[in-house]
Structure 1
Amino acid sequence: MSVLIAVTALPCGLLIGLLLGALGGGGSILAVPALVYVAGQSPHTATAGALVVVAVGAVTGLACHAAAGRVRWSAGAAFGTLGTAGTYLGSRWSAAAEPAVLMAAFAGLMCAVAVALLLRSLRERRAAQAARAGVASEPLPPLPGGAVPLRSRPVRVTATASAVGLLTGFFGVGGGFVVVPALTLVLGMEMPVAVGTSLLVIVINSGTALATRAGTGVLDWPLLAGVAACTALGSYAGNRLAARLPPQVLSAAFASLVAVLAVALAATAVPRL
C-alpha cells in the first residue's frame, strides 16, 4: 500500500465508519467506489474487500450500540438469517448479471424509501410539537424497539430480508440503507434501535457473502486492514454522535442520505441502460 493510497483511502474509511455508526448504513455504498477509484482495485475485488471493511465497522458499531441497549438481538438475528439465501444467490449472480438495470430500479426504490422516511419523520416531529404544546394529536404506530414481532408479518419480513441479502451478495454492500427503513417501517422500531439492530444484520449478511466469495480472488489485506481500522474508529465516533441526536434528526438525516445515494446511483446507471 503506497503512501498516496494510504493518505486518500484511510479518510474514506473514517467516513464509512461514521455513517455506519451514526446511521446504520450508507457507508458500504462508499466502500466500493473508494476501493475502485481511490485504491485502484477491480470492481470484483472491491466488492469483496468492501465486505471486509463494512463488517469490521459494523462489529465495532454493534458493540457500542449494544452497550447502550439499542440492539434487538432476536429480531436482528432472525432478519439476518432470513436473508442468507438471498445473499448466497446474489454472490453467485454478481459475476454474470448486468447490474445497470438493477441499479436503476434500486435507485427508484431508494427514492421511495427516502420519501416514506421523510414523511414519517415529519409526522413524529409534529406529534412531538403537539405533545409539548399539550394538544392531542393522531396517535403514532407503536415504536418501542421490536414492538411488532417478526411473526406478525412473515411474508413482508421474509421478502425484505431476502432482498437485503440479495443486495449484499450482488453489490458487495451491507444493506443497512434498506435494513434501517425496513426495521422502522415494517417492524416499528425507533430510529436509534433500528440503527443498532441493523448493524447485527449487516454482520450476518457480510459474513455470508464473504464465505460465498471465498477463494474467488486475492484481496489486498494490508490496505483492507488500514481502511478497516479507520472504519472502526469512525464507527465509534458515529455511535457517540447517534447518542447525542434525537430520533427525528437521525431519521431525517438518514432519509436525506438515501435520497442522495439514489440520485448518484441513477446518474451512474441510467446512461448505461
Structure 2
Amino acid sequence: MTTWIIGHLMAACIGLSLGLIGGGGSVLALPILVYVMGIPPKPAIAMTLVIVGAVSLLGVIPHWRAGNVRLKIALLFGGATMIGAFAGAKIATLPFVSGAFQMILFAVMILLAAGLMIRRSSKRPRQIELKSYPNPVCKYCWFLLLTEGIGVGVLTGLVGIGGGFAIVPTLVLLGRVPMKQAIGSSLLIIALNSVAGFLGYLGQVPLNWELTGSFILAASAGTIPGAYLAQFIPAQRLQQTFGYFLLAVAAFIFVQNRHSFEVVHSFKNTASQMIQYHTKY
C-alpha cells in the first residue's frame, strides 16, 4: 500500500512537469513504473505511452483554445512519427531486444535531452530565439521534417519517450512554426505518437490497466498546480533544474542496469579467448 501511494504521488509529478515545462512526462513515468511499481520494462513502456498520450491530449485543450495548435503541420509531422512509433514498438517486441537494452537506450536519450535543456537555459531569451532556433534555410524542409518525424517515432516506440525535446525545435526549424504554436502542436503530436506506439505493443505484452488508469488520473491532477506555478517561476530556471534532474535519473538507470555492461564485457572476453585459442591451435 505504501508503494502504491508513493508511486501515485510521484505520478502526480508527471503532470506537474507537463504543466510547468510542457514536457518530461515519459522520462518520469517509465522509471516510476519500473523502479517503484515493479513493472517489467516492456509493459512499462507500453503503459507509459498510454499515460503520456492521455495527459498530453488533455494538455492540448488550453493550447487549442489559445490558437496555438497548427493542425495541418501537426498531422503531417504526426503522421510520420506514428509510422515510426509503430515500427519502433514492433522492433521492441522482438526477442533479441531486451528490457535492459531499452532502459539503457532510454537513459542515453534523456542524457541528450538534459544536455540540450541545460545548454539552452544558460542563454538569454533573445539568444535562444536567434541562435538555438535560427530561420531555416533548406530547399527540402518538408522531406527533412518527415524523415526526422519517422526517427523520433522509432525512438518513441522503442523506449516510450514522447520526443517533445526533439519535436519542438524540428517544428520551429523545418516547419517554420512560431515557438508557442510549436509547443502546443507538439503535445498533439506526442498524443498521436503514443497511440501508434501503444498499438505496436498491444497484444504483445501484458498490461496493468488499473494501474495505468490511476496513473493517468494522478498525472492529470498534477497538471493543474503545474500550470499555476509556471506563472511564477522563470522558464529558464525550470529548464535548467529539470535538466540536472534528468542527469540524476539517467545516472540512476545506468547504475541499475550495470549488470548489462558486465555481461557485454564478459562476452567480449570470452570471444577474445576463443579467437586466441583458434589462432594458437
TM-score class, shorter-chain normalisation, is: 0.7 to 0.9
Q: Do 1:23 and 1:195's aligned partners in 2 also have CA atoms closer than 8 Å?
A: no
- What's the % identity of the aligned pairs? 31
Q: 1:27 aligns with which of 25, 28, 49?
A: 25
| Residue pairs, 1:11-160, within 5 angstroms | 11-96=9-94, 97-98=97-98, 111=111, 114-125=114-125, 140=130, 153-160=141-148
Q: What letter is aligned with 2:10? A: C
User: Counterpart of 1:217 in 2: which secondary structure?
Assistant: coil
> Is the Cα contact below 8 Å between 2:71 and 2:185 reproduced in 1?
yes
SS class of match (1:83): helix
Match of 1:179 among 156, 159, 167: 167
Distance 2:30 2:152 in 1: 17
Residue equivalent to 1:238: 226
**CA, structure 1 residues 105+92, in 2 after alignment: closer, same or farther (shift >3 Å)?**
closer
Q: Give the letter for the 1:228 counterpart.
A: I
Q: Would you say the 8 A contact 1:56–1:231 is kept in 2?
A: no
| Whole-angstrom CA distance in 2 between matches of 1:218 and 1:25 | 27
**8 Å Cα contact 2:86/2:157 also seen in 1:** yes
**2 CA distance for matches of 1:210 and 1:142?**
32
Picking from 143, 149, 156, the partner of 1:161 is: 149
Does the C-alpha gap of structure 1 residues 184 and 44 become closer, same or farther in structure 2, counting only changes over 3 Å? Answer: same
Q: Is 1:83–1:165's contact at 8 Å kept on the other side of the alignment?
A: yes
Question: For the structure 1 residues 9 and 116, does the alpha-carbon distance in structure 2 shift closer, same or farther, using more than 3 Å as the test?
Answer: closer
2:218 aligned with 1:218: no
Query: Please, what TM-score do these two structures have when normalized by structure 2?
Result: 0.74
Asked whether the equivalents of residues 18 and 236 of structure 1 are also in contact (C-alpha less than 8 Å), the reply is yes
Contact (CA 8 Å) 2:93, 2:204: kept in 1 or not? no
> What CA deviation, in whole Å up to 9, does each residue of 1:107-134 have, x standing for no partner?
5565555545544444443659xxxxxx
Q: Distance in 2 between matches of 1:204 and 1:45?
A: 19
Q: Greater relative contact order: 1 or 2 (C-alpha under 8 angstroms, separation 6 or more)?
A: 1
Length, aligned pairs only: 259
Give the structure 2 partner of residue 136 of structure 1: none
Q: Is the 8 A contact 1:150 1:157 kept in 2?
A: no
Give 1:68's aligned amino acid. Answer: A
**Unmatched segments (≥5 aa) in structure 2:** 262-281
State the Cα distance separating 1:156 from its structure 2 match.
Answer: 3.0
